[in-house]
Structure 1
Amino acid sequence: MISKSGQSSEALLSCYAECDPDSLDRTAFAVRLDFSQYKAEVPLHQHRQGQLVMALHGAVTCRTEKALWIVPPDCGVWIPGGILHSNQATSNAHLSYLFVEPGAAALPMECCTLSVSPMLREMILRLADVPVNFAGNEHIERLVRVMLDELVQMPIEALSLPASHHPKINAITAALTDDPSDRRTLADWAAHVAMSERSLKRLMVEETGLTFGRWRRQLHLVIALRELASGASVQRVSSDLGYESPTAFIVMFKKALGTTPARYFSSQSADRSPRSN
């Protein structure tokens, strides 16, 4: 496979090839990554530090054993230290990773999507301008303290898809991830996995915390965020998800996030593109 940069994907480096986070002794540090230069997928791994994955352009999917997250603009996925996770970036992704030493701030103990204010975003990008091997000074230390204070204040957003290890839920998840336009009902899926509709309904809530209808809408939302962030049109996404019209898809999107796709992604304008080094 050839990437947009013209390089073979096999020739691209891991984004951690030039910097091992666990080798650095810093309260917090940040890096900025253009994934045209790195492998899009970072396989299952973990860090000693907590990690905030922030999308500057495009999108990235983060997976743990409990859930799947899409990182849209103005948000970041917080992954506490020691949690196994994998990342899959879209081909146009520009990301920033912020690493925070355990105990340096009162951050969530579970993975979650955090809103990222414009001020916090700029502080993280300023820190990313500092070389990772920089010894630090009082100015940078003050920046880190204020940045962490701001990060702790960020609200949690409901932009994850609960996962399950149950084989029957996994079978449904795999099928709908492969073909999200599949509109089979709960009764149809119950027959498919050899269960009664009542038993599957109960199992879905037990395993994911959501009814089947809400879980499928959340799956559609997660997929839509990823595809829209990578440049797909609303018309194409609505068709791929099996909606009768773009209007029906926009109604679902607005109900979930309180705004239309166009307004939601308006923050990805040129003035919010990653700054050149």
Structure 2
Amino acid sequence: MAPNTNFFDFDSDQYPQAAVAIELSGSDQLRETPPHQHHKGQLVLALHGYITCNISDAIWIVPPRCAVWIPGQLPHSNQFSADAHACILFIDPQALNMPVKGCTLSITPMLCEMIKHLASLSQHYAIDSPTAKLVEVLLYELAQMPAEQFNFPIPPQPKLHQIANAMLANPADRSSVAEWASRYAMSERTLARLVKQHVGLTFGRWRGQLHIVLALQKLSSGDSVQRVSEELGYESVSAFITSFKKVLGCPPKQYIKAR
């Protein structure tokens, strides 16, 4: 399936094959897909630029050389940056035991090339063909990939949902937990308890997840570390670098360069 294939004309569920792939490069047709779902699971792999996936109760970011796994029958929509170049791999649920919830996967260069190569071939391959053998190895390798959490959870709980949207609208807001609680007519203790109950994180780590998601999005688009630091409300560039390194294990420039 060649690059720039019209994504909206591609129906993965019409293919009986275990896995089919499509390669997409930046164009207006890729900017955003409406909410939809399909039987096959979907692996969204960013080769360049970034992709944002809205999956039920969370926003997921796909930085270069990573992929978001979206299980079958799960409503979702995708937003592509103007410079996005991506591969999307559709997998029959019976072909591979993948996570039942959305997650981010690190993708090795070898697996990335295998997915790209599959996308360049005819998707109407026979079960005893060389392409089928490629898919067999590809799926085996995919099952070994480690999961990462490049997502910002948006809980259905009404007040937390409002707070999540407020943080998305103004990620530079550095208000304390007590200040956020006061705005939404609850105690600091109640807010902390609700976040722990519905998100599974402390308030600080929840907000930190948002900053990681947005930082990866902005850095992948070429924004400078200083600009990202300022837009996310950090007191200094060094404070942002320290926070980034704590989560991802290396400074922002090094991380993006490695990708």
Matching of residue 264 in structure 1 with residue 255 in structure 2? yes
Q: How does 1:80-229 map to 2 (within 5 A)?
A: 80-134=71-125, 138-229=129-220
The RMSD of aligned alpha carbons is 1.6
Q: 1:91, 1:230 within 8 Å by CA — same for their partners in 2?
A: no
Verify the 8 A CA contact 1:14 1:38 in the aligned structure 2.
Answer: no
Distance (whole Å) between structure 1 residues aligned to residue 236 and residue 36 of structure 2: 40
TM-score (norm 1): 0.88
**Aligned letter for 1:264?**
Y
Give the distance between the partners of 1:46 and 1:135, measured in 2 at CA.
26
Q: Does 1:58 align with 2:39?
A: no
Displacement of 1:174 after TM fit? 1.1
- Report deviation, 1:137: 5.5
CA distance 1:124–1:113, shift in 2 (3 Å): same
Task: Write the deviation string for residues 216-259 of structure 1: whole angstroms up to 9, x where unpaired.
Answer: 11110001011111121111111000012222111111111001
Deviation string for 1:253-275 (max 9, x for gaps)? 1111001111111145xxxxxxx
Q: TM-score, normalised by structure 2?
A: 0.94
The verdict on how the C-alpha distance between 1:171 and 1:88 changes in structure 2, with shifts beyond 3 A counting, is: same
Which runs of 5 or more residues in structure 2 are unaligned? none
**Distance apart, 1:136 and its partner CA:** 6.7
Return the offset for 1:17.
2.5
Distance (whole Å) between structure 1 residues aligned to residue 5 and residue 18 of structure 2: 24
- Which amino acid counterpart does residue 197 of structure 1 have in structure 2? E
Q: Which residue of 2 is the match for residue 48 of structure 1?
A: 39
Displacement after TM superposition at 1:158 (Å):
2.0
Matched residue type, 2:228: V
> After the TM superposition, which parts of structure 1 deviate over 3 Å for at least 4 consecutive aligned residues?
132-137
| In 2, Cα distance between equivalents of 1:210 and 1:20 | 37
- Relative to structure 1, the CA distance from residue 15 to residue 84 in structure 2 (aligned partners, 3 Å threshold; closer, same or farther) is farther
Judged with a 3 Å threshold, the aligned counterparts in structure 2 of structure 1 residues 234 and 81 are, in CA distance, closer, same or farther, namely: same
Matched residue of 2:95: which SS? Answer: coil
Letter in 2 for 1:236: R
Unaligned runs of 5+ residues in structure 1 are 1-12, 269-277
Q: Any conservation in 2 of the 1:250–1:260 contact (CA below 8 Å)?
A: yes
- Whether the 8 Å contact between 1:73 and 1:267 is mirrored in structure 2 is no
Q: What is the rounded CA distance, in whole Å, between the counterparts of 2:125 and 2:97 in structure 1?
A: 25
Aligned to 1:26: 17
Aligned residues: 256
Distance 2:221 2:27 in 1: 13
Q: CA separation in 2, counterparts of 1:145 and 1:135?
A: 13
Amino acid at match of 1:70: I
Q: Write the deviation string for residues 133-152 of structure 1: whole angstroms up to 9, x where unpaired.
A: 45575211110000000000
